[in-house]
Structure 1
Amino acid sequence: MTTHNHMTKTALVIIDVQNDYFVDGAYPQWQVNEMLERTLHCAQQAQQQGMPIILVQHIADTTQGVAPFFNPGTQGVEIHPKLLALLPNASIVVKQFADSFDNTELAKQLQEMQITHLLLCGIMTQNCVTHTALSHSALGYSVKIISDACTAPTQMVHQIALSALSRRVELIDSRSI
């Protein structure tokens, strides 16, 4: 179990673990159920440590028509029920762009909680996880990505994204939370 000194305050940010990325959804991801189990483990560990947990939910902008997935009002846009069951009181940040900070309340919430360190996980590794980790708004934080609690459309895309991210952000394993 990771211990944090009194000067650091860590939040777990779980990005876009939504129904459309699962088997019956519009865009199923590689090994998504295994990734979900590891994400739930991370959330349980975070809860035991009293760590704030923020869920990020992508809702497509449909002003230009229907999106490929995450359309408002659909079952697919909903956060996975196992995550909601485990974290009924978690804060939910709604976004419309890959970067979880872009035009959202995320930075404000982190600031209010005096967060200094971010643990990121979620879907998709090469898109929203990467854009959030490398966001201009994330520069003020110590950012770590829980690599085995992320996934992408394929194993290769996931691994390419992690390889690129490893040059800029520390990658950790879900067992080290």
Structure 2
Amino acid sequence: MSNHPAPRRALVVIDVQNEYFEGGGLPIEYPPVESSLPKIAQAMDAARAAGTPVVVVQHHAPKGALVFQADAHNGQLHPEIAKRPHDHLVTKTFPSVFTGTDFADWIARHQIDTLSVVGYMTQNCDASTVFEAMHRGLNVEFLSDASGALPYSNAAGQVSAEEIHRVFSVVFHSNFAAVASTEAWIAALQAGQPIEKDNVLMSNRRARG
């Protein structure tokens, strides 16, 4: 048990929209949505039971974009998310939940000091939000089995979904966010305890043996 005050958490459910599932333009591959979606739902249910606010985030692309059209099926929240209650809904047009939204004002008003991030994609909207939150002085948690990535190939190289998710998770935990399983997060939530992240120096020392 730590001596820290109980975190004032908000669960931030980022972009769990049909676009990322079968039939969408950007299917998440790792962890597979068949395993991550139930974890996201489990986290939402646990937050509700614990009286922890849930912020649902939905990405809306400009008219004419190929993905995330507000009025198209693929731009809608996945039914598992849509059917669950939330305390606040954020609609965004940039990767970070903070940019061009009322999110920062909302968390300040509710005296939130810890953001617990789930949803998609690990390397894009999750990462943008994690990095910005840390720089704004917030504690951040990343539920690695309730999030996910997809593979990329471009002029800079090629990388699998597993590599992207693993690398970002390790980098987050080294400095930006405490990375945990949904199960471990729920236990910490119920105990009113923070989850500790690592640091750059120790992360590097372990790797060097």
TM-score > 0.5, shorter chain as reference = yes
The whole-number CA distance in structure 2 between the counterparts of 1:46 and 1:136 is 20
Give, in angstroms, the shift of residue 54 of structure 1: 0.2
Q: Which of structure 1's runs of 4+ aligned residues deviate more than 3 A?
A: none
Task: Confirm whether residue 93 of structure 1 aligns to residue 90 of structure 2.
Answer: yes
Task: Confirm whether residue 84 of structure 1 aligns to residue 82 of structure 2.
Answer: yes
Task: Confirm whether residue 61 of structure 1 aligns to residue 62 of structure 2.
Answer: yes
Q: Where does structure 2 lack aligned partners over 5 or more consecutive residues?
A: 151-160, 187-209
Q: Find the counterpart in structure 1 of residue 183 from structure 2.
A: 175
Query: Normalized per residue, which structure has more helix?
Result: 2
- The amino acid across from 2:55 in the alignment is I
Q: Find the counterpart in structure 2 of residue 43 from structure 1.
A: 44
The whole-number CA distance in structure 2 between the counterparts of 1:5 and 1:137 is 18
The whole-number CA distance in structure 1 between the counterparts of 2:133 and 2:139 is 13
Q: Find the counterpart in structure 2 of residue 162 from structure 1.
A: 169
The whole-number CA distance in structure 1 between the counterparts of 2:135 and 2:129 is 7
- How far does the alpha carbon of each residue in 1:121-174 deviate from its partner, in whole angstroms, 9 at most, with x for none? 110001110000001675221111111111011222211221222222210110
Q: Find the counterpart in structure 2 of residue 26 from structure 1.
A: 25
Q: Find the counterpart in structure 1 of residue 53 from structure 2.
A: 52
| 1:135 match: secondary structure | helix
Q: 1:138 to 1:86 in 2, by over 3 A?
A: farther
Q: What is the count of residue pairs matched by the alignment? A: 169
On the 8 A contact 1:144/1:171 being kept in 2, the answer is yes
The whole-number CA distance in structure 1 between the counterparts of 2:148 and 2:102 is 24
On the 8 A contact 1:132/1:138 being kept in 2, the answer is no
Q: Larger RCO: Structure 1 or Structure 2 (Cα < 8 Å, ≥ 6 residues apart)?
A: 1
Q: Where does structure 1 lack aligned partners over 5 or more consecutive residues?
A: none
Give, in angstroms, the shift of residue 86 of structure 1: 1.9
Between the aligned residues of both structures, percent identity stands at: 30
Question: Aligned Cα RMSD in Å?
Answer: 1.6
- How far does the alpha carbon of each residue in 1:65-106 deviate from its partner, in whole angstroms, 9 at most, with x for none? x2231012101111111111122x442100001111011111
